[in-house]
Amino acid sequence: MPILLSTFYFFYFAVIGVYIIFMPKILEMSGYSASDIGIIFAAGPLIRFILPFAFIRGLKIDEKSFNIAILIMLISSVSFFFSLDSFYQLLFSNIGLGIGLSIILPYIEVISLSIVGKERYGKIRLFGSVGFVLVALVLVQFLSSADIALNYLLFSTFSTAVVAFFIVRNAHAKDEKKEEVKNDVNLFSDWRLWLGLTLMQVSFGSFYNFFTIYETDFGISLDMTIYLWSFGVLAEIFMLFSQGRFLRNNLLLILQITTFASAIRWFLLYLFPQNLAVLFFAQSLHALSFALFHSAAISYLFHIYKHKALAQQFFSGITYGLGGFSGALLAGYVYEFYPRELFLSSTLLALLACGFLYLYSKKINNP
């Protein structure tokens, strides 16, 4: 099973690599404005936000819904070939891909944490980072047309679907008697926690959707920008491999440290958009702001809630969904009207995230 899980992460994050590194640039080259790109890339995260509430209202998180999500993801990846020239068709293709990706990953995350545990999770998850960086380094050498990027997207999506299908079949075969768990995920009583986690992802909107455009507009070459992406992922891989000992400690404190480190990272991108030494240092902080933050967040939610699948679905939906939607939309308009202040806005959002997580920790310690 660890080999299957590693393979899944490899291909899943290869899909993400094509999607967030190259697709914004392709859309810009196709004549879309920054606000258009922001709206298109906000569609998937918005769907991720809505989906968990459907599961609360009666839709079941089971193998059937998982397989339907795989099918939707595959159809959507094919539809990109026919929708690049139409804003609304492209919007619906993003929505479909968002539905598939947002159901599949949380489902697999629960299986990973159940089988390998939080200390070994990083050593499985790092293969996702390897897939991400490899597709970035390879695709930049051959990206002469949109069709090439879409072919990579289709191949990675198909591979993800096949491996995910077999993981779930194996996991259910080993665990046939599943108990019905009541929903204990309380967004209102834990609003400080969820707001902090969400604001962290809002701050990433500038990075995920406009970092490539931002740096190339400041005169950094596309090749060098891809190297910056890749360096950040290498730092992420190093952290995922070695983070086990950190995750044995206070997970809430780790979340506060990583959000504050993210604020520093975004502020450096704001101050020094053309200084390669500073840019590489800022990218090294990806080890904290993504790798350690993500592992600490899903491990903490896995620990405090009994309905673990729904907790991970909400983490994907609210933080990466609502946070990603808001971040993409906000970044699109900020970059269109105040491009120089793009990462200053991200800095303020990350500081707010750190503040709310601190308030949540105070509430937990002093109920």
Q: What is the pLDDT of residues 142-164, one digit of tens each?
A: 666 677 778 888 888 999 999 98
Measured N-to-C along each axis, helices 342-365 and 205-217 cross at an angle, to the nearest 10 degrees, of 160
SS3 31: coil
Query: CATH classification of 2-365 is 3.30.465.10, yes or no?
Result: no
> Among residues 163, 157, 13, which one has the least CA distance to residue 80?
157
User: Residue 287: what pLDDT?
Assistant: 92
Share in percent of the chain as helix, strand, coil (round to 5): 85, 0, 15
d(CA 107, CA 110): 6
Reported as a single tens digit per residue, the pLDDT across 320-340 is 878 877 888 888 889 888 889
In whole angstroms, how far apart are CA 177 and each of 54, 109, 221?
24, 20, 55
Tokens of 51: 């989906």
pLDDT band at 367 (very low <50, low <70, confident <90, very high): low
**Looking at residues 10-17, what average pLDDT do you find?**
88
Q: pLDDT: is 47 or 235 the higher one? A: 235
User: Residue 175: what pLDDT?
Assistant: 55
d(CA 126, CA 175): 26
Q: Quick check: 364 and 77 in contact, CB under 8 A? A: no
Tokens of 286: 């990806």
Tokens of 60: 């079941």
Under the phi-then-psi rule, with left for phi > 0, alpha for psi from -120 to 50, and beta for the rest, what region is 275? beta
Reported as a single tens digit per residue, the pLDDT across 273-304 is 999 999 999 999 999 998 899 889 988 988 88
d(CA 167, CA 159): 12
293-312 in b/e form (b: 16+ CB < 10 A) is: bbbbbbbbbbeebebbbbbb
Q: Phi first, then psi: what are they for 230, rounded to 5°?
A: -65, -40
C-alpha radius of gyration, the chain, whole number: 19
d(CA 103, CA 70): 9
d(CA 21, CA 213): 10
**Looking at residues 309-324, what average pLDDT do you find?**
81
Q: Quick check: 79 and 71 in contact, CB under 8 A? A: no
SS3 280: helix
User: Residue 179: what pLDDT?
Assistant: 54
pLDDT at 359 over 90: yes
pLDDT at 48 over 80: no
d(CA 256, CA 260): 6
> Among residues 42, 48, 94, 57, which one has the least CA distance to residue 73?
94
Q: State the CB neighbour count (10 A cutoff) for residue 165.
A: 16
Reported as a single tens digit per residue, the pLDDT across 174-217 is 554 455 566 667 778 888 999 999 999 999 989 988 888 889 88
**Cα 298 to the chain's mean position, in Å?**
12
Average confidence score pLDDT of the chain: 84
User: Residue 198: what pLDDT?
Assistant: 93
- Ranges of each domain in the chain: 2-365
In whole angstroms, how far apart are CA 174 and each of 61, 73, 80, 215?
18, 26, 37, 48
d(CA 286, CA 121): 18
> Among residues 29, 2, 74, which one has the least CA distance to residue 216?
29
